[in-house]
């Protein structure tokens, strides 16, 4: 990289920090992308002339709103709602909603920023956005969750639409929440506009495979990384963090491809089950009964539960972080590498800290960053939008085949972009550059808007 390009990148990063004070997760996500872009500015100086990086770092629109709701005892609560419409150069804003007490503008902006490049990598016509609230559905009754969702959608409905902005789920937002949100949108708009939300139930406009897509897609991505090294999942011991939507379907696909998952977690602790995780039980506990993962041991006496345990201390060959951001730090990465881990695929968004990424890169293990590895979820959301637009419903096998091809293409595009810029086999550089170029070229074509 030239000194000039390095200086340009540093200046942009400092501007981002100054303009968005206190938003640490957003700064982290921006830095990771900017660190890859120096060689791009050298080869394609017109991106700098058009101030594309500066424009990409500034959301097109940020919406913050009050969400008042009443609990079952009649007490009133006030939460904060967010929707950051980051970039619509490639299509309507697309990205999930997160309901979790840790949500604030910096979290939604990091997620929305990641979504721009991830969505571009899918090759489908979707822009980037993200939203959510500091509301935590855990421990709330169905009626409380419904009242919250209705209040949240009453305001959000002004800003979304199948051609404008199409939200979906993320942490704390599954098919129950999407149902309540869709119901309120339908009632307020007096239209059955299926394409306004994705992740819908199969009986009311949802797509087969959307529930499975992020986990399945992440495993397909890792499978491609392994194949590129003449290896496969067959016989591999694997560890998956979390036990939510992404984790569950990551485990399912690993088992289908011949690997064995021996550990998973939730925010309370870690389960280790040497003979392999019993996924039917996890689905029952988590998807149906909404219980804590520690209850797994009530049914399997040979499984161990470690309260506040560290899932990355369990020796494995493949690790798939599928819970939340910054859940795997430099020390965890060193432990994984020391224990023989050869591949890491991120189902979660930004789960590895910058120090952890450095450890994986220096050890030259196969490391698939979230914006590439977990793109199967949003890609299948775009397939849901296609089905809604054509009033069609595809079979499971056809939809899964489309997902699989998309993940193979993303893997190839990352490798090719990395190769073009002298960073062979570096999926971080490859994903950032391949995603960036698609968005940047579209932004230039659309003029200064
Ligand atoms: N649902 C989707 O289609 C997609 C989700 N993602 C990302 O995947 C990750 C997981 O999302 P979902 O499975 O949808 O959410 P979820 O709400 O279904 O599950 C989240 C899981 O993470 C665990 N968790 C949360 N905070 C934790 C912490 N501090 N320590 C340990 N475990 C923790 C929870 O206990 C739960 O098991 C998130 O980073 C999300 O942004 C990425 C792409 C698409
Ligand atoms: O399906 C979608 O629209 C969004 C999925 C998502 O939130 C993500 O990719 O992080």
Counting from 1 in the atom list of ligand 2, the atom nearest the Cα of 170 is: 7
Question: What single string gives the DSSP state of each residue in 383-430?
Answer: HHHHHHHTT----HHHHHHHHHHHHHHHHHHHHHHHHHTT-TT-HHHH
Give the closest ligand to the alpha carbon of residue 292: 1
ipTM here? 0.98
* C-alpha of residue 385 to centroid of ligand 2, in Å: 13
Counting from 1 in the atom list of ligand 1, the atom nearest the Cα of 324 is: 39
> Is pLDDT at 345 greater than 90 in this prediction?
yes
Beta bridge partners of 87: 128
pLDDT in tens, 174-215: 999 999 999 999 999 999 999 999 999 999 999 999 999 999
pLDDT in tens, 83-138: 999 999 999 999 999 999 999 999 999 999 999 999 999 999 999 999 999 999 99
pLDDT in tens, 390-445: 999 999 999 999 999 999 999 999 999 999 999 999 999 999 999 999 999 999 99
pLDDT in tens, 74-93: 999 999 999 999 999 999 99
Ligand 2, CB within 6 Å, residue ranges:
94-96, 118, 168, 170, 198, 349, 374, 377-378, 381
Contact 368, 118 (CB under 8 A): no
Tokens of 285: 């506990």
Ligand 1, CB within 6 Å, residue ranges:
169-172, 214, 242-247, 265-267, 322-324, 327, 347-349, 374, 377
pLDDT in tens, 243-275: 999 999 999 999 999 999 999 999 999 999 999
pTM: 0.98
Neighbour order of strands in the sheet with 237-240:
304-307, 269-272, 260-266, 237-240, 318-320, 343-345, 366-368
> Is pLDDT at 1 greater than 80 in this prediction?
no
Q: Which residue's CA is minimally distant from atom 9 of ligand 2? A: 378
pLDDT in tens, 297-326: 999 999 999 999 999 999 999 999 999 999
pLDDT in tens, 8-38: 999 999 999 999 999 999 999 999 999 999 9
Give the angle subtended at the CA of 388 by the CAs of 199 and 193, to the nearest 5°.
Answer: 85
Q: Which of 370, 378, 407 to mutate to test the pocket of ligand 2 (most atoms within 8 A of CB)?
A: 378
* C-alpha of residue 425 to centroid of ligand 2, in Å: 26
Q: Binding site membership: which residues? A: 94, 115, 118, 169, 214, 245, 381
Counting from 1 in the atom list of ligand 2, the atom nearest the Cα of 349 is: 10
Residues taking part in catalysis: 130
Give the SS3 label for residue 151: helix
Per-residue model confidence (pLDDT) at position 449: 87
Give the angle subtended at the CA of 300 by the CAs of 299 and 305, to the nearest 5°.
Answer: 105
Q: Which of 93, 114, 120, 168 to mutate to test the pocket of ligand 2 (most atoms within 8 A of CB)?
A: 168
Per-residue model confidence (pLDDT) at position 42: 95
* Domains present along the chain, CATH in parentheses: 61-195 (3.40.50.10860), 211-368 (3.40.50.720)
* C-alpha of residue 439 to centroid of ligand 1, in Å: 27
Q: Which of 170, 175, 324 to mutate to test the pocket of ligand 2 (most atoms within 8 A of CB)?
A: 170
Q: For the residues 362-384, what does the mean pLDDT come to?
A: 98
Counting from 1 in the atom list of ligand 2, the atom nearest the Cα of 210 is: 1
Per-residue model confidence (pLDDT) at position 276: 98
Question: What single string gives the DSSP state of each residue in 372-392?
Answer: HHTHHHHHHHHHHHHHHHTT-
């Amino acid at each position: 990289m030239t000194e000039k390009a390095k200086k340009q990148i540093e200046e942009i990063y400092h501007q981002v920090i100054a303009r968005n004070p206190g938003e640490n997760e957003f700064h982290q996500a921006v830095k990771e992308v900017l660190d890859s872009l120096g060689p791009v500015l050298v080869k394609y100086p017109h991106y700098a002339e058009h101030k594309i990086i500066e424009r990409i770092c500034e959301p097109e629109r940020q919406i913050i709103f009050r969400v008042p709701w009443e609990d079952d005892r009649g007490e009133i609560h006030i939460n904060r709602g967010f929707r950051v419409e980051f970039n619509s150069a490639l299509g309507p804003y697309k990205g999930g909603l997160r309901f979790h007490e840790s949500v604030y503008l910096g979290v939604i902006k990091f997620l929305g920023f990641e979504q721009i490049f991830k969505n571009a990598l899918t090759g489908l016509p979707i822009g980037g956005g993200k939203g959510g609230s500091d509301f935590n559905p855990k421990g709330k009754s169905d009626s409380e969750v419904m009242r919250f969702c209705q209040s949240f959608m009453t305001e959000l409905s002004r800003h979304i639409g199948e051609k404008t902005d199409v939200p979906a789920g993320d942490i704390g937002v599954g098919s129950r929440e999407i149902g309540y949100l869709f119901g309120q949108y339908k009632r307020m708009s007096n239209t059955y506009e299926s394409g306004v939300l994705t992740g819908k139930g199969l009986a009311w406009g949802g797509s087969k495979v959307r529930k499975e897509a992020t986990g399945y897609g992440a495993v397909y991505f890792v499978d491609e990384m392994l194949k590129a090294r003449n290896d496969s999942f067959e016989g591999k011991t694997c560890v998956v963090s979390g036990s939510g939507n992404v984790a569950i379907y990551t485990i399912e696909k690993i088992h289908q491809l011949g690997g064995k998952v021996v550990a998973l977690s939730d925010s309370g602790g870690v389960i280790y089950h040497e003979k392999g995780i019993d996924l039917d039980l996890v689905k029952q506990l988590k998807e149906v009964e909404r219980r804590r993962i520690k209850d797994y041991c009530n049914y399997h006496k040979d499984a161990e539960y470690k309260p506040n345990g560290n899932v990355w201390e369990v020796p494995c060959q493949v690790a798939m972080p599928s819970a939340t951001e910054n859940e795997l730090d430099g020390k965890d990465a060193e432990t994984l590498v020391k224990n023989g881990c050869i591949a890491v695929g991120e189902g979660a968004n930004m789960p590895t800290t910058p120090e952890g990424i450095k450890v994986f890169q220096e050890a030259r293990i196969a490391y698939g960053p979230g914006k590439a590895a977990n793109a199967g979820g949003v890609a299948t959301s775009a397939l849901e939008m296609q089905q809604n637009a054509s009033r069609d419903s595809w079979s499971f096998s056809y939809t899964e085949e489309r997902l699989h091809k998309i993940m193979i293409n993303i893997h190839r595009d990352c490798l090719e972009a990395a190769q073009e810029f002298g960073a062979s086999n570096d999926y971080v550089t490859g994903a950032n550059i391949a995603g960036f170029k698609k968005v940047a070229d579209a932004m230039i074509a659309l003029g200064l808007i």
